[in-house]
A and B are shown apart, each in its own frame.
Chain A
Amino acid sequence: MKPRQKRAVFIVLAIIAVGLAVGLVLNALKDNVSLYFTPTQVYNKEAPQGRSFRIGGLVEEGSVKREKDGLTVHFMITDLHKNLPVVYKGILPDLFKEGKGVVAQGKMEADGVMHASEVLAKHDENYMPPEAADALKKAQAANAASAVAPAAK
Chain B
Amino acid sequence: MIPELGHFSLIVALCLAIVLGVLPILGAARNNRVFMGVARPLAYGQLVFVGLAFATLANAFLGNDFSVLYVAQHSNSQLPAQYRFAAIWGGHEGSLLLWALLLSIWTAAVAMFSRHLPEEMVARVLGVMGLISVGFILFMLFTSSPFERLLPAAADGRDLNPLLQDPGLVIHPPMLYMGYVGFSVAYAFAISALLGGKLDATWARWSRPWTTVAWVFMTIGIALGSGWAYYELGWGGWWFCDPVENASFMPWLLGTALIHSLAVTEKRGAFKSWTVLLAIAAFSLSLLGTFLVRSGVLTSVHSFAADPKRGIFILSFLVLVIGASLLLFAWRAPKVGLGGKFDFVSRESLLLSNNVLLSVAAASVFIGTLYPLFMDALGYGKLSVGPPYFEAVFVPLMMPMVFMMGLGPLARWKKMAVPDLARRVQWGFASALVLALLLPLVMGRFLSLESNKWSPMIVLGLLMAFWIIASLVISLRQRWAGQGAFMVRVRKQSLSYYGMQLAHLGVALFIIGVTLVKGYETERDVRMNVGDTVMAGGYEFRFNGVTETQGPNYVAGVGHVTVNKDGKLVGELTPEKRQYNVSGMPLTEAAIQTGVFRDLYVSLGEQIPESEGAWAVRVYIKPFIDWIWAGCLFMALGGILAVSDRRYRIHKKAGAKMNAVEIQPVPQSAIRTPQSQGQAS
**How far, in angstroms, from A18 to B606 measured CA to CA in the complex?**
48
B228 to chain A: closest CB distance in Å? Answer: 12
Q: Is the pair B585, A24 in contact by a Cβ cutoff of 8 Å?
A: no
Q: Check A33 for interface membership: any CB of B closer than 8 A.
A: yes
Given contacts A95-B585, A125-B585, contact A32 B364 (CB under 8 A): no
Return the contact of A32 from the options B388, B397, B586, B587 (Cβ within 8 A). B388
Q: Tell whether, in the assembled complex, residue B393 and residue A71 are in contact, meaning their CB atoms are under 8 Å apart.
A: no
Residues 72 to 122 of chain A near chain B (Cβ within 8 Å): 90-92, 94-95, 122
Does B368 reach chain A (CB closer than 8 Å)? yes
Stretch from B44-52, B166-174, B377-385, B627-635 forming part of the interface with A: B377-385
A35 interfacial by beta-carbon distance below 8 Å: yes
Cross-chain contact B385 with A29 (CB below 8 angstroms): yes
Bound CA span A102–B106, Å? 42
Give CA–CA (A131, B298) in the complex, Å: 11
Q: Contacts A24-B364, A125-B583 hold; do A92 and B605 have CB atoms under 8 A apart?
A: yes
CA distance A134 to B618 in the complex (A): 33
Which residues from 22 to 60 on chain A have a C-beta closer than 8 Å to any C-beta of chain B?
24-25, 27-29, 31-36, 54, 56
B392: contacting residue among A32, A90, A125, CB under 8 A: A32
Which secondary structure dominates chain B's binding surface?
mixed
Give the distance in Å from the alpha carbon of A70 to the alpha carbon of B525 in the complex: 10
Q: Which residues from chain B contact A9 at a C-beta distance below 8 Å?
A: 344
Q: Which of A27, A35, A92, A123 contacts B382 (CB 8 A)?
A: A35
B389 touches A28 (CB 8 A): yes
Contacts of B163 in A (CB 8 A): 123
In the docked arrangement, what's the CA distance between A122 and B388, Å? Answer: 21
B383 to A32, Cβ gap below 8 A? no
A31 contact set on B, CB distance < 8 A: 388-389, 392
- Complex CA gap A3/B527 in Å reads 70
Partner of B389, one of A18, A32, A125, A134: A32
Contact A91/B606 with A29-B368, A69-B527 known, Cβ cut-off 8 Å? yes
Instruction: Kindly state whether residue A145 has any CB partner on chain B within 8 Å.
Output: no
B356, closest chain A residue (CB): A17
Establish whether residues B384 and A36, one from each chain, have CB atoms under 8 Å apart when the complex forms: yes
Q: Do B386 and A70 touch (CB < 8 A)?
A: no
Are B384 and A34 in contact (CB-based, < 8 A)?
Answer: yes
| Shortest Cβ distance from B610 into A: residue | A66
Contact of A25 among B367, B382, B606, B608 (CB under 8 A): B367
Instruction: Give chain B interface residues in 161-205, CB to chain A under 8 Å.
Output: 161, 163
Chain A residues with CB below 8 A from B382, complex form: 35-36, 56, 130-131, 134
Chain B residues with CB under 8 Å of A71's CB are 525-527, 616
Residue of B nearest to A97 (CB): B586
Residues of B within 8 A of A90 (CB): 525
Cα A48 to Cα B344 with chains together (Å): 49
Interface contact B381-A122, CB-CB below 8 Å: no
A141 within 8 A of B: no
**B584 contacts the other chain (Cβ, under 8 Å)?**
yes
B486: Cβ under 8 A from any A Cβ:
no
Q: Is B234 interfacial (CB 8 A cutoff)? A: yes
- Partner pick for A91 among B363, B393, B605, B611, CB 8 A cutoff: B605
In the complex, what residues of A have CB within 8 A of residue B371's CB?
29, 33
Q: Which residue of A lies closest to B609 (CB)?
A: A66
A11: chain B residues within 8 A (beta carbon): none
Q: Which residues of B contact A32 (CB under 8 A)?
A: 385-386, 388-389, 392
Most-contacted residue by chain A among B368, B382, B583, B584 (CB, 10 A): B382
CA distance in complex: A9, B344 (Å): 9
Report the minimal beta-carbon distance from B86 to chain A, rounded to whole angstroms: 17
Contact present for B364 and A25 (CB under 8 Å): yes
Which A residues touch B384, using CB under 8 A?
A: 33-34, 36, 54
A70 touches B360 (CB 8 A): no
Return the contact of A70 from the options B344, B388, B611 (Cβ within 8 A). Answer: B611
Whole-angstrom distance between the alpha carbons of A96 and B586 in the complex? 10
Asked if A8 is an interface residue, CB under 8 A from chain B, the answer is no
Q: How far is the CB of B399 from chain A (nearest CB, A)?
A: 12
Is residue A14 within 8 Å, beta carbon to beta carbon, of the partner chain? yes
Per-residue CB proximity of A123-134 to B under 8 Å, as 1/0? 111000111001
A21 within 8 A of B: yes
C-alpha gap A51/B150 in the complex (Å): 50
Can you name the residue of chain B whose Cβ is closest to the Cβ of A27? B392
Chain A residues with Cβ below 8 Å from B608 are 66, 70
- Judged by a CB distance under 8 angstroms, whether B456 is at the interface is no
A34 to B389, CA, bound (A): 11
Instruction: Kindly state whether residue B341 has any CB partner on chain A within 8 Å.
Output: yes
Given contacts A33-B384, A34-B386, A69-B527, contact A129 B299 (CB under 8 A): yes
For residue A10, give the distance in angstroms from its CB to the closest CB of chain B.
8
B527: which of A6, A14, A56, A70 is its contact (CB, 8 Å)? A70
With most chain A CB atoms within 10 A of its CB, the pick from B163, B386, B388, B526 is B386
Instruction: Tell me whether B328 is interfacial, beta carbon within 8 Å.
Output: no
The minimal Cβ–Cβ distance linking A138 to chain B, given in whole angstroms, is 11
Most B CB atoms within 10 A — which of A17, A32, A34, A95?
A32
Does B301 sit at the interface, judged by CB under 8 A? yes
In the docked arrangement, what's the CA distance between A52 and B341, Å? 52
Residues of the A chain whose Cβ atoms lie less than 8 Å from the Cβ of B618: 91
Instruction: For A21, give its contact among B397, B609, B614 (CB under 8 Å).
Output: B397
Chain B minimum-CB-distance residue to A46: B381
1/0 contact trace for B280-302 toward A, CB 8 Å? 00000000000000000001010
Chain B residues whose C-beta falls within 8 Å of the C-beta of A123 in the assembled complex: 161, 163, 301
B234 touches A33 (CB 8 A): no
B82 CB to closest chain A CB (Å) equals 21
Determine the residue in chain A with the shortest Cβ distance to B389.
Answer: A32
B586 touches which of A33, A94, A122, A134 (Cβ 8 Å) = A94
Return A146 CB to nearest CB of chain B, in Å: 24
Closest residue of B by beta carbon distance from A153: B381
Docked CA distance A128–B481 (Å): 63
Known: A32-B389, A71-B616, A94-B234. Is A21-B364 also a contact (CB below 8 A)? Answer: yes
Interface centre among A14, A33, A92, by most chain B C-beta atoms within 10 angstroms, is A33
- The reply on B396 being an interface residue by CB < 8 A is yes
Inside 8 A of A24's CB, which chain B residues have their CB?
Answer: 364, 392-393, 396-397
Is there contact, CB below 8 Å, between A122 and B583? Answer: no
Q: Within B87-121, which residues are at the interface with A (CB < 8 Å)?
A: none
21 contacts between A and B (CB under 8 A): A18-B360, A25-B367, A28-B392, A29-B367, A29-B385, A31-B388, A31-B389, A33-B371, A33-B383, A36-B381, A36-B382, A70-B527, A71-B525, A71-B526, A90-B525, A91-B525, A91-B605, A94-B234, A94-B585, A95-B585, A123-B161
Besides A24-B396, A70-B611, A91-B235, 4 other A-B contacts (C-beta < 8 A): A70-B608, A91-B605, A123-B161, A131-B382
List of 4 A-B pairs having minimum Cβ-Cβ separation, nearest first:
A70-B527, A91-B605, A28-B392, A32-B389
